[in-house]
Structure 1
């Protein structure tokens, strides 16, 4: 036997700890895997080599980034206009952003590297080497909502460290003032759907101003606004090139001569699209669908649209992206480079907030089990995932253990809440906030709306809720595309540009967020579905006398003659809808039961397709049938938690019914977890390295540390 003292005191201890930990981990994971131990005689040289290998492994494990969010007391993330009301916190927010952006690109915690995790430059981060030339962001996947949560916490944590570094540069006698401001400071969000205060634009000037005045250790200074853009300096070759001839500064709705952002047009477009985006949020919150179904836009994940759910938060997220980036090709227009625009983080923090609100009103639902539908940096297509899947590359400790969706089910574990989830929120209190923020509230009589869209009115008994559903291939084009919708007798779509949607006939726009280079997999396209609500526009048409009533027969006849759509692709060119691969439309309507109190939401009846509206639209109005997954060669694994719909056999999912029908086709239940293949080596989520199913007890205390209550997840 070797003398352990010959290696010093520390390494044998590390080795012993490693052996014990390895044994414990093997024991814990024994519920999923069979382990066979073989006793092998090793020579001193072999033991020496094994010891060195173990030491290097331990050193590597100790180099992972521990993501905690901002530690200390749990504090609310505020809407950006509310944060600005606190001058000291706003000052620190901007200075922290400025310092964050100035960190060298070689730093793993620089703005460049942290934002680059989302998409390009498709390189390793946090010791994770991509297995595909792709980004880590799981758009149109079941983990879209939960994956972004630790990502935002990482961003917030690193930005906050920069805030603390800024405070240390102030004179000693001033630092306490700034420490007091930082104690409750968190990243803000931008609520692009709420009614802006005092008649302001829905896009705050604080995001659009090119410069800003701040208080620095040497007094007041005017600096480049860190919320306006990010400057790459020299664009790294690993980025693979940027739009606008590799322009090194992020752009929004860019124009040429000279190349620059058009933030005025951005403000106009967001104003014109706000009401329809508000209606979409209100429709989702009123749908009664599961959290997993409303979090992602992907067909094949949501399958049959979960009964009456017709939209998703991710789908609304897409139109915000495309509206900001613009058809002329700003950064937010392309999924793979969007995160470098600082507005991305304000937008995604709001998306996290919306998903957190939905968790409160639908507390017994969460991530839906499903399969990855396209190759990603951390996963291959076809791999099954669920709420215990490791959210790579985000580690919760320096040993390399990844967060799971279950770990971050409650935002408090990452140090933050939102105004609506602060304290002890209830479903009733959150529904009340949703009614206040996103419910239609305009007067129903004597409303003159010669310019701009009708604001909407509260629902009444006998009303119908009508939507234009859009089925789209997410990666059909090189870049994103937008469907603009108009409703009225005039020929509103002719020669209309994206900057002039001030007609009363304009309803809203539907965005499909793509990448700089299309992922054209014709045999397995990434199909998505969402909708544009038509109800508010129809109410306006009834008030103006164009529409006789809100009855289904009058609505269908009116829409057949007056509903118009146009597709705007990359570069701003109109594309005939039938030339966009896999693009389909249909209209459906349902009766509405108005809310009985301010703490309740309206409910939808059964949607019925109005086939006459789109049947004359070439190809795109034809009935679309969801693709049926091929049955695997072997049954699903019997060992798994209970996921998905309880009305079908364990390990299976229902196949969606054909469009316009309410019954699934024959033999519509197929196994959820197929056999493994070389391209997809896992046939059950638990087989992925790092998978860990666990229960977490969360204890809540007040600011004095007194126990309030606990819950088990």
Structure 2
């Protein structure tokens, strides 16, 4: 991605805060008639459902690496439940449901809708790109996604027939301990092989929690997401820059890709608007060895929070071209984050453009 487009990311900063980021502050204040003091009342269940409110975990469960989670028999049941739960989220076509995949992904950018009962986002979504709030903003955002997966997993467990009491209870306990696995994208494995193929296969087999252990083949939710509505708007007078022009599609660099409803998200798309797994893996290998590791090392040497936290730590600074708000400090946590976006999405890929995810 060009540095000029990277600079555009600094425009995304917003002072708007998600309702999901501070669940306790949304509690109502009431006066206790006996003590004459104000007390907070926690939001009721219906309010939590409407606002997508997240809560602290009551128990701590360690995260599991992607390689162990998806590739060992030890995690087979939890793996299947996670994949089913993610599929459940993606199949929820209620765009106004704060727990749907579409609504949560939209917090980060397009289509620019208001999330739940929060005020409409300013600029390109709610994300605090290019500000000192970037790291602390992303934490509750990722937590919201994880708790939506857990919620979907609990729904799956609750739908198990009552005659399978033991299975139902086991699945519910497993849902409570479910956590999104982590991918060490600067590890030796990634540097040698690229993205694990669990993220790129078209379909995937799941068994659990089927009482009869019947195998079911489902579209791989880790590979792509089918859009329920048009994303962005068509560009150019002809349609050569729109997916409908395939197999003569041309990438319009620097702009979020227009994707019609019922199309899937793509990574490193070709002229047929299809993901190129070989290009993705090659790019990930290059970035792992030449970009991720040096950037992480440089960021960890930084002692200034402003420079460590975001890619625009010098707002108003003049670039060599004279433009303001140049792409700022190179050794920051957000620059590492930006590089992951670029390496995974590629030119024309959805992951490259924060406002289009």
TM-score normalised according to structure 1 size: 0.36
Identify if the C-alpha distance between structure 1 residues 252 and 282 changes in structure 2 by more than 3 Å, giving closer, same or farther. same
**Is the counterpart of residue 289 in structure 1 residue 303 in structure 2?**
yes
Partner SS state of residue 223, structure 1: strand
Residue 244 (structure 1) aligns with: 243
Residue ranges of structure 2 left out of the alignment (5+ in a row): 1-27, 39-45, 236-241, 245-258, 318-328
1:637-652 counterparts in 2 under 5 A?
A: none
**Is the counterpart of residue 134 in structure 1 residue 124 in structure 2?**
yes
Distance in 1, matches of 2:65 and 2:341, equals 18
Residue 351 (structure 2) aligns with: 332
**Is the counterpart of residue 256 in structure 1 residue 245 in structure 2?**
no
Residue 439 (structure 1) aligns with: none
Higher strand share: 1
**Is the counterpart of residue 68 in structure 1 residue 61 in structure 2?**
no
Q: 2:132·2:305 contact (CA, 8 Å) conserved in 1?
A: no
Q: 2:84·2:153 contact (CA, 8 Å) conserved in 1?
A: yes
How far the C-alpha of 1:105 sits from its partner, in A, is: 2.6
Partner SS state of residue 284, structure 1: helix
Residue 18 (structure 2) aligns with: none
Q: 1:207·1:228 contact (CA, 8 Å) conserved in 2?
A: yes
How far the C-alpha of 1:179 sits from its partner, in A, is: 3.6
Distance in 2, matches of 1:16 and 1:73, equals 28
1:608-687 counterparts in 2 under 5 A?
A: none
**Is the counterpart of residue 155 in structure 1 residue 148 in structure 2?**
no
Partner SS state of residue 209, structure 1: coil
Q: 2:31·2:37 contact (CA, 8 Å) conserved in 1?
A: no
How far the C-alpha of 1:77 sits from its partner, in A, is: 2.2
**Is the counterpart of residue 81 in structure 1 residue 67 in structure 2?**
yes
TM-score normalised according to structure 2 size: 0.69
Residue 286 (structure 2) aligns with: 272
Residue 207 (structure 2) aligns with: 215
1:389-400 counterparts in 2 under 5 A?
A: none
**Is the counterpart of residue 192 in structure 1 residue 185 in structure 2?**
yes
1:384-463 counterparts in 2 under 5 A?
A: none
Identify if the C-alpha distance between structure 1 residues 302 and 91 changes in structure 2 by more than 3 Å, giving closer, same or farther. farther
**Is the counterpart of residue 17 in structure 1 residue 30 in structure 2?**
yes
Q: 2:306·2:313 contact (CA, 8 Å) conserved in 1?
A: no
How far the C-alpha of 1:265 sits from its partner, in A, is: 1.1
How far the C-alpha of 1:19 sits from its partner, in A, is: 10
1:130-162 deviation per Cα after TM superposition (whole angstroms, max 9, x unaligned): 263431111111111101111111111111010
Distance in 1, matches of 2:47 and 2:58, equals 28
Distance in 2, matches of 1:213 and 1:284, equals 40
1:576-607 deviation per Cα after TM superposition (whole angstroms, max 9, x unaligned): xxxxxxxxxxxxxxxxxxxxxxxxxxxxxxxx
Higher helix share: 2
Residue 505 (structure 1) aligns with: none
Distance in 2, matches of 1:102 and 1:60, equals 23
1:49-80 deviation per Cα after TM superposition (whole angstroms, max 9, x unaligned): xxxxxxxxxx98995442115x3311222221
**Matched positions, count:** 278
Q: 1:120·1:337 contact (CA, 8 Å) conserved in 2?
A: yes
Residue 3 (structure 2) aligns with: none
How far the C-alpha of 1:288 sits from its partner, in A, is: 4.5
Residue 230 (structure 1) aligns with: 225
Q: Which has the larger radius of gyration?
A: 1
**Is the counterpart of residue 110 in structure 1 residue 66 in structure 2?**
no
Structure with larger RCO (C-alpha < 8 A, sep 6+): 2
Question: Which residue of 330, 334, 347 corresponds with 1:314?
Answer: 334
Q: 1:167·1:178 contact (CA, 8 Å) conserved in 2?
A: yes
Residue ranges of structure 1 left out of the alignment (5+ in a row): 1-14, 26-58, 304-308, 339-713
Distance in 1, matches of 2:203 and 2:295, equals 34
**Is the counterpart of residue 122 in structure 1 residue 112 in structure 2?**
yes
Residue 322 (structure 2) aligns with: none
How far the C-alpha of 1:95 sits from its partner, in A, is: 0.8
Distance in 1, matches of 2:49 and 2:67, equals 40
Across the aligned residues of Structure 1 and Structure 2, the Cα RMSD in angstroms comes to: 3.2
How far the C-alpha of 1:178 sits from its partner, in A, is: 2.7
Identify if the C-alpha distance between structure 1 residues 127 and 18 changes in structure 2 by more than 3 Å, giving closer, same or farther. farther
How far the C-alpha of 1:172 sits from its partner, in A, is: 3.2
Q: 1:122·1:135 contact (CA, 8 Å) conserved in 2?
A: yes
